Chains A and B, each alone.
Chain A
């Protein structure tokens, strides 16, 4: 943790390769929170709106959007290196490669220890179950496992904060347990999450629910895949796998719900679907549901922006692996009572990131809203994206906030040029008296 610079403000995990960015309309149109604008010929992300869902990474046709992650080399900064494989990693390889082989391959790559995030996931499921049963949290209880969904709640659905189960995500719990198990005699301990998910990097730098993360770095599955495959071919396979099917299932949507064991639940994948469901919860129509598992990525974590394998193939593989595993992990089997909330609970509350308002003064905000609507009415309403904003309404909002001008709209510009042309023609037709002969 000493090596990781703590950023004072919220930081998002997506970066742009400016040379590859064409300033096209693809990412701005597909961002679920309208967080991106094209300015000065390239995409820029409005930090307070970005939820780290990775849609822009998926949608960029020019490969200009990248997630901020650590290279495998980063583990060399530490004396004792611990790998936390996300269960999504197990879906990247077919069942000819056992989980033991995958984990042994990680040791071959230079890690000293492997702690399966799936093991921690099982503990998180039990704690969640306890919260649902105790009605400790407003119904429906929303899972805290997906960081992009939590950011979405903070920004767009802050009224649902009381619904989020205040429990650490499996990655964070795994990091703490792994450090504990490592003990104090190993020199500097480096804990690295092997990740399908871009948002986890933000989670490590600006954690939710606790002041600091026990994780030092995040390595993308896609950056590890080829070296790991080679290592798996070379290594001696050791018996390392301890997680049961309830933990491994978290890699695919509905797996967490299976582990929590609440039949009155819904599991939602894909950020647009999550948005529709959260709207419904806010409108009061899903109050009869006890638990909601909400995953930003299609298929769940196996569909994350940093994976290699096709998410639907990976999802089937995960289900197949589940069938070959005992229900509970060998660490947690002995425990028949849920783990203490103190160890798994949040120590800092989830805060609203209320930056969507036009002004902190409501009177001024009302004025700006009126201006915005008048402006919007004067725009063509094509939502073409040429101005760099995803919709005409978004451009109108940018204009009243002083972040854009109406001439950004190519249609308004043409309209003005036409007016100028008409004036020029008028002027052209006026002959000064000295030349005015028929």
Chain B
């Protein structure tokens, strides 16, 4: 089963809705609750990143009996120093975002922690593509 969710730039309210949708689908498929939760965290964090940093983007979700694969893609600024970006506490979030309670600098590391496979492909000036996989059963 494949799903496509566009994520508008800077629209933080929309981010939650897509992950709520995916959670309901996974519940109908009988995926264990803990795996649903991990998927939700990866998806929510990923979407928030697309909205805040990526200038908007898309999330493609591919569900099979073996795994859930999330592909998050944007054509934003790209990540200059990936290792720095992955470290806990480092954030490039603008002030207005931090005022809303985001920008703690934990997003990418949270995603990596909750996914079984986590690949980041980013080029400065071109964009970022993240493939995160959660294994089922």
Task: Please count how many residues in chain A sit with their CB below 8 Å of the partner chain's CB atoms.
Answer: 27
Chain B 1-32 per-residue mask, 1 if CB under 8 angstroms from chain A, else 0: 10000000000000010011001010111110
**Interface: A21 (CB within 8 A):** no
State the main secondary structure of chain B at its contact with A: helix
Decide: A282 near B25, CB < 8 A? Known: A362-B137, A365-B30, A366-B1: no
Among B51-104, those with CB < 8 Å from A are: 63-65
Using CB atoms, name the residue of chain A closest to B31.
A362
Which A residues lie within 8 Å of B137 (CB)?
362
24 contacts between A and B (CB under 8 A): A158-B33, A159-B34, A279-B16, A279-B23, A282-B23, A283-B44, A284-B110, A354-B33, A356-B27, A356-B28, A357-B29, A358-B29, A358-B30, A362-B30, A362-B65, A362-B137, A363-B65, A365-B30, A366-B1, A366-B65, A369-B25, A369-B28, A369-B29, A370-B1
Q: Are B25 and A352 in contact (CB under 8 A)?
A: no
Which A residues lie within 8 Å of B110 (CB)?
284
Q: Are B29 and A362 in contact (CB under 8 A)?
A: yes
**Interface: A360 (CB within 8 A):** yes
A284 to B41, CA, bound (A): 6
Which A residues lie within 8 Å of B30 (CB)?
354, 357-360, 362, 365
Which A residues lie within 8 Å of B134 (CB)?
none
**Interface: B50 (CB within 8 A):** no
Chain A interface (Cβ within 8 Å of chain B)? Answer: 156-159, 161, 279-280, 282-285, 352, 354, 356-360, 362-363, 365-366, 369-370, 372-373, 397
6 more contacts with CB within 8 A, not counting A282-B23, A369-B1, are A159-B33, A283-B44, A362-B29, A363-B65, A365-B30, A366-B65
Q: Are B63 and A366 in contact (CB under 8 A)?
A: yes
Decide: A366 near B41, CB < 8 A? Known: A279-B16, A283-B16: no
A279 to B23, CA, bound (A): 9
- In the A-B complex, the 4 residue pairs with the smallest Cβ-Cβ separation, listed nearest first, are A357-B30, A159-B37, A159-B33, A283-B44
Q: Are B44 and A285 in contact (CB under 8 A)?
A: yes
Which B residues lie within 8 Å of A279 (CB)?
16, 20, 23
Q: Are B34 and A365 in contact (CB under 8 A)?
A: no
Which A residues lie within 8 Å of B23 (CB)?
279, 282
Which A residues lie within 8 Å of B28 (CB)?
356-358, 365, 369, 372, 397
Which B residues lie within 8 Å of A285 (CB)?
44
- Point out which of A157, A283, A372 has the most chain B C-beta atoms below 10 A from its C-beta: A283
Using CB atoms, name the residue of chain A closest to B27.
A356
A158 to B37, CA, bound (A): 9
A369 to B37, CA, bound (A): 20
Q: Are A365 and B45 in contact (CB under 8 A)?
A: no
Chain B 32-52 per-residue mask, 1 if CB under 8 angstroms from chain A, else 0: 011011001100110000000
Which B residues lie within 8 Å of A159 (CB)?
33-34, 36-37
Using CB atoms, name the residue of chain B closest to A275.
B20
A352 to B34, CA, bound (A): 12
Partner of B29, one of A158, A283, A365: A365
**Interface: B136 (CB within 8 A):** yes
Using CB atoms, name the residue of chain B closest to A360.
B30
Which B residues lie within 8 Å of A284 (CB)?
40-41, 44-45, 110
A353 to B28, CA, bound (A): 13
Q: Are A366 and B64 in contact (CB under 8 A)?
A: yes
Partner of A283, one of B19, B25, B63: B19
Using CB atoms, name the residue of chain A closest to B66.
A362
A365 to B64, CA, bound (A): 10
Which B residues lie within 8 Å of A358 (CB)?
28-30
Which A residues lie within 8 Å of B27 (CB)?
156, 356-357
Partner of B33, one of A352, A359, A360, A373: A352
Using CB atoms, name the residue of chain B closest to A372.
B28
Which B residues lie within 8 Å of A373 (CB)?
1
Partner of B41, one of A158, A283, A363: A283
Which A residues lie within 8 Å of B16 (CB)?
279-280, 283
